[in-house]
Amino acid sequence: MRRILTALSITALAVVFVACGVKVNPPPPPGAGGGPGAGKPVVISAAQLAQEFYDNVAGAKYQLQPLEVSGVVTRLEKPNAWEKEPGPDDATDSVVFIIPVTNKATKQQVNYTIRCLLQPQVSAEQRKALGLASGKPVVLRGKILASDLNNPQASLQQCTIVSAGGQ
């Protein structure tokens, strides 16, 4: 009986969504490609992406596109430890870029943080073999997760390492 009620509830919810015009996973707008993960990634430097996030244009411009972001690693982060560098035997789940951006109205610079959430996490052995370390160049591929205009930062999700350590 419970399964029947659950199925009816889901069906009723779907009917309400359709009647109200709600779209789940709507198709991308014209010219935006085939959706997340489709097509070639947009190749962009972390510095340019940070400035575009700060200028509030990156979200709409790249939201449905895979990105290939290059830059110098500011910090690595270990799993479940906000802003904590991994030890020699710890896995890494985030690559962080902290980049100065310019407020175009005031000409003042502020630091913008881009956090790339690695999927899967990188083991200590993989990190060493790749040469993934703070101060070293890296190229990552991922998708926009979120950005915060009040606290200058953005996150990319499902990030994979294309190259690291200048390799």
Instruction: List beta partners, residue 48.
Output: none
Instruction: List the CATH number of the domain containing 65.
Output: 2.40.50.140
Gap between the Cα atoms of 108 and 79, Å rounded: 34
Is residue 17 situated within a structural domain?
no
Give the domain range for residue 87. 33-164
Listed residue (69, 53, 55) closest to 113, CA to CA: 53
pLDDT, residue 64, reads 80
Is residue 158 situated within a structural domain?
yes
Residue 77 near residue 85, CB atoms below 8 Å = yes
Alpha helices in 36-164 (DSSP H): 46-54, 58-62, 124-130
Average pLDDT, the chain: 80
Task: Kindly give, in sequence order, each residue whose CB lies less than 8 Å from that of residue 50, ignoring residues fewer than 6 positions away.
Answer: 97, 99, 101, 112, 114, 154
Is residue 7 situated within a structural domain?
no
Is residue 3 situated within a structural domain?
no
Q: pLDDT band for 150, please (50, 70, 90 cuts).
A: confident
Is residue 63 situated within a structural domain?
yes
Is residue 22 situated within a structural domain?
no
Domain count, the chain: 1
Mean pLDDT within 141-157: 92
- Radius of gyration of the chain from its Cα atoms, rounded to whole angstroms: 19
The reply to whether the predicted model has a pTM over 0.85 is no
Gap between the Cα atoms of 83 and 54, Å rounded: 21
Tokens of 62: 């790249």
In tens, the pLDDT along 2-53 reads 333 333 333 333 333 333 333 223 333 333 334 444 579 999 999 999 999 9
In tens, the pLDDT along 75-125 reads 999 998 878 899 999 999 999 999 999 999 999 999 999 999 999 999 999
Is residue 126 situated within a structural domain?
yes
Q: Please give the DSSP secondary-structure letter assigned to residue 157.
A: E
In tens, the pLDDT along 57-86 reads 888 899 889 999 999 999 999 998 878 899
Is residue 12 situated within a structural domain?
no
